[in-house]
Structure 1
Amino acid sequence: MLRKTIAILSTVSLTVSASINLPSGEDWLDHTTKGLAPYWVMPSAQGEPIGNFPTFRCDDGTLLNVSDVCPELKRDWISPHFGKDFTRMKSRQTFAYGVLYHLTGDPKALNLAKQGAYYIIDELQDKKNGGFISYTQEGKAGLDWQQRTSQDQAYALVGLAMYYYLTQDKKVEQALIDQQAFIFEKYRLEDGLGLAWVLADSSDDSEKQRELVAQLDQINGYMLLIAPLLEEPIKSKWFNDLNWLTQTMVEHYHSKSEQRFYGAIHHKAAMMPNANHNDFGHTIKAYWMTYLTGQTLKNSEWSTFGLKGMKHTLEQAQYQKNFASVSGYFNEQLQEKWKDQDITGWQSRPYSQWSSSWEWAELDQAAMTVSLVDGSMKEVLQYTLPTFHDVWVDHKYGGVGLEPKRTKAFHWGNGYHQFEHALIGYLYSQQVEKKSATLHYARPKNSKMPIAPYYFQGDVIDIDVQEDGTQKVRFENIQP
């Protein structure tokens, strides 16, 4: 479950109910501001100019020095990408700042989100061919436009989507609309299998690939959050595309017999359980998105399908371990609380007893969603949520790594998953405790845009307009 090389123990304190043993809403806010934020608000994280967020940083926050590479980045699957500056990582970091503002109202976080969104729009759009540049290398676009993956095209928008949800910024709205149109026009396949992975072969990718994330990360990255906020006729177009993409994913990328999603379907080898993306993390995200899309589009068949799939996957992904064998990774409070117990963790694949932080976060988020629907999963979450707060977080420098406390900023590692996890966790805990949830927005005065707590629904009980015009909104009755 956890690497024995990790020796740093945290001093995090959890307010745990005697009956359900879950972190409170205040614990989630502390986790966000004290556990996650320090690593991401360092000057080294903010880029030059601010908004040009760097892809590679060491675990102490310092920028990568290719002449003296820190051990956590000295890996054969990371080092070949040194020198590349990835748009998707700037966008994911933009998302993280948006969530930090959403939960705390910190104007500095909102400004960082704006700087990130505007830098992506102003500097990284391909004004000749359309779409966004996947990465730059020595100041130049690193791939021909047809070699850019549709996943990268989607993740260029994840930070823009969060910023627009918070602010209703018209410049960002237009970029979202233009990019969605570009993706669905250029990447839509004639064979009926959804969106293409790439449009032309490169040294790494083939136009023959049919990838789950080419579909899934359009939904996850921007469509599900933004579609309900748009005005007609764009709103109906997005809903139609969302419907088509989800139907494609369920029909062609899902195995009824194995009750999982295939990571890819272009070859039998790509569909095998040990192949790339055939893990519980991608499957649970696909079920979660299908459930939430079903709720948004009022498709009860998808909602039922997604809920059933989440419950099955969560059962398969959990495992039990004697706490004594891993207690050294936990703080003293949890050592005392869980001694002589078996605790539950999440695993990436059957019998692996290991996962990455993003997979742990995705499984937690689905488990919290299921718990809001039917009240189950608390027996598992009482272990997995405090474990994420304590073991995964680097309590010295802040942030969460691919592994516990380690490898925090690289070409796929960034603040996105850990901050989304914190947002879902806060909303979940407030609802479980039957308390209202407070979220911060910066929308124009008298905005008519629908307002809801992220992917969930809730009753607005108060909107407190601040002196600077931003809004402090309280929700109750939060449900997915």
Structure 2
Amino acid sequence: MHCRSRFLSHLVGGLLAALLIAPVALAAEEDLPSGDIWLQHVSRDLLPFWSSSDALGSPVGEFPTFRCNDGKLFDAHSPCPELANPPDWIKPEIGRDYLRMRARQTYAYGVAFHLTGDPRWLEAARAGARSTLRSLDPERGAPAWIKEGSAASFEETTAQDQSYAVVGIAMLYYLTRDPELEKALVAHEKFIFKAFWDGQQLRWLPNGVAGDEGARQELVAQLDQLNAYMLLVAPYLPAAERVHWQTDIRRLCDVIVKRYHDPQSGYFFGTRGTPGSEKPGSRHNDFGHTIKSYWMLTLAGRELGDQKLEAFAKEGARKVLERAWVAQTRSWGSQWTRNGIDENKQWWIYAELDQMATTLALEDAGQAYRLAGSWDFWLKHLVDHQSGEVWGWVQADGWVPPDMLKIHQWKSGYHSFEHALVSYLGAQALAGRPAKLYFATGHTDALFRPYVLPGSVTGIESKGRYETVTFRLPRPER
């Protein structure tokens, strides 16, 4: 208890310092700001929500799935107003702690260390990773959720749950190259393809689970393997394992393009094989899943050395970004509809659109012009300026409903921290400035990359087991 108290005291001290940082604001002119604004965003807007003892869990690392908008732990006997009568899709889930959300919070602490160099956040990420490792079984994966000592059955777990169960240790492995994490990731990838691959694609539920639910054809069953761990981890694996993962990456890309892509519209359908699955408004038919598919295919093309796949993905992404842009508010819409687009904002969809736009802007300056407005909207309207973090949904004009939530069984710190990291790297590149990131490999000759973006190392400073790495990212001609 003494060590935990000292750890929390250290975190609170850092939190107070973070709150002294000047408010984030963007200039009115079209010129993009440097990445400093995103470092401020992390310290001022995001970390306060994730720094409390309630956020860190008891013991530290067992991060809770449900908390109130002020950051306090959910209390069933005295629930905060926003969780007293939650939406029907949340209500039956309250009381469960989801492994995917614990892993997403682990990821968030990893990004916090990556951007700030503060070892407190690395230790928080390690605590989360230890919790994940205790829950991983090489034969049955991770349970989807735990409640009062009981866990979800193996037959209930989805391929998507299994992908996100390791998103936190994937980020920590990228930062540290810890061989224990590498071993766990390699074993988990093999488990997923053994338990879910049916010879044509990854099933939604494990092989052998009968019924309509088990037979569902889901884009995210394939896509989130790439997104949660494979494309971040693959470059650092030993040669033989990397080749094996590249084979599986290729298999997933083929499935995503051949089974879920609609050549006529350029969109990716979230599900196939069910009545109405291709209609606007159907499950996962939105700009988020489509642009994330294009982003992952872009990154996969680079990992595989497949220029044709990369070109296909970037061409499709440009068209989607054009359609998703709301010129009047200089922001992103969330999905296509029968009569146009839904201009309301979902935080993760908005983040994915920004991340793809940033990736394209590193090669084509013409793709950067939307970012000034988009970033401004995010920092002004999606951020909760009172208690930290970002809202899950805001109206088209930025209005936040009074019952909107910031954390639940599908929302943790993953998307908001990844958005900050990619935006920081993109802003530095477009401003012609180097980017500085922090690692903890203990080896100055390790392979260092700026997350999943292209860039070259221009300097490494080592102190103990920590490295401060300076990158030069590509800056297109204006």
Give the partner amino acid of 1:45.
A
The CA distance in 2 between the partners of 1:98 and 1:376, in whole Å, is 32
Cα pair distance change 1:205/1:463, threshold 3 Å: farther
TM-score, normalised on structure 1? 0.88
Q: C-alpha deviations, 1:17-75, integer Å up to 9, x for none?
A: 84x33232110100011111110111110011100000000010011112232232322
Matched, 1:222 2:232: no
In the aligned structure 1, how far is the partner of 2:381 from the partner of 2:320? 23
Work out the CA distance in 2 between the residues paired with 1:155 and 1:279.
20
* Runs of 4+, deviation exceeding 6 Å: 200-205
In 2, Cα distance between the equivalents of 1:98 and 1:205? 38
Q: Which has the higher contact order (CA 8 A, sep 6+)?
A: 1
Task: Measure how far apart 1:230 and its partner are.
Answer: 0.1
Structure 1 residue 437 corresponds to structure 2 residue 448: no
| 2:175 alignment counterpart | 166
- Please, which of 279, 295, 298 is the counterpart of residue 305 of structure 2? 298
2:48 equivalent to 1:13: no
Alpha-carbon distance in structure 2 between the residues aligned to 1:345 and 1:287: 16
Are 1:151 and 2:160 matched, yes or no? yes
Contact 1:147 1:201 in 2 (8 A): no
Q: Unmatched 5+ residue regions in structure 2? A: 1-21, 395-399
Asked if residue 472 in structure 1 is aligned to residue 468 in structure 2, the reply is yes
Task: Provide, for residues 261-317 of structure 1, a one-character-per-residue CA deviation record: whole Å limited to 9, x for no partner.
Answer: 010112242222220100000000001110111112111111111101111111111
> 1:54 matched to which residue of 2?
64
User: How does 1:87-236 map onto structure 2 within 5 Å?
Assistant: 87-122=99-134, 124-126=135-137, 129-143=139-153, 145-190=154-199, 192=200, 194-199=201-206, 206-236=213-243
**Separation of aligned partners in 1, 2:211 and 2:439:** 41
Partners of 2:335 and 2:180 lie apart in 1 by 39
Give, in whole Å, the separation in 2 of the partners of 1:447 and 1:164.
16
- Equivalences for 1:453-468 in 2 at 5 Å? 453-466=450-463, 468=464
Alpha carbons of structure 1 residues 65 and 204: separation in structure 2 relative to 1, 3 Å: farther
Match of 1:39 in 2: 49
Q: Report the Cα distance in structure 1 between the residues aligned to 2:334 and 2:255, rounded to whole angstroms.
A: 28
Check the 8 A contact 2:444/2:467 in 1, yes or no: no
Paired letter, 1:477: L
Map of 1:416 onto structure 2 = 414
Question: What are the ranges of 5 or more consecutive residues in structure 1 without an aligned counterpart?
Answer: 1-10, 322-341
Q: Would you say the 8 A contact 1:198–1:205 is kept in 2?
A: no
Give me the CA root mean square deviation.
2.1
Which residue does the alignment assign to 1:78? 90
Is the contact between residue 189 and residue 196 of structure 1 (CA under 8 Å) also seen in structure 2?
yes
Change (3 A) 1:393 1:202: farther
1:421 Cα offset (Å) = 0.3
Instruction: Say if 1:438 and 1:474, in contact at 8 Å, map to a contact too.
Output: yes
Whole-angstrom CA distance in 1 between matches of 2:228 and 2:36: 27
2: CA distance, partners of 1:458 / 1:343: 29
Q: CA deviation at 1:205?
A: 7.0
Deviations 1:315-353 (A, max 9, x none): 1111233xxxxxxxxxxxxxxxxxxxx634433334211
CA-CA distance at 1:204 after TM superposition? 11
Partner of 2:449: 452
Confirm or deny: 8 A CA contact 1:147 1:200 kept in the other structure: no
Aligned length: 443
Residues 275, 166 of structure 1: alpha-carbon distance in 2 compared, 3 angstrom cutoff: same
1:244 alignment partner, one of 241, 251, 259 = 251
Letter in 1 for 2:132: I
Distance in 2, matches of 1:176 and 1:375, equals: 37
Q: Distance in 1 between matches of 2:331 and 2:105?
A: 30
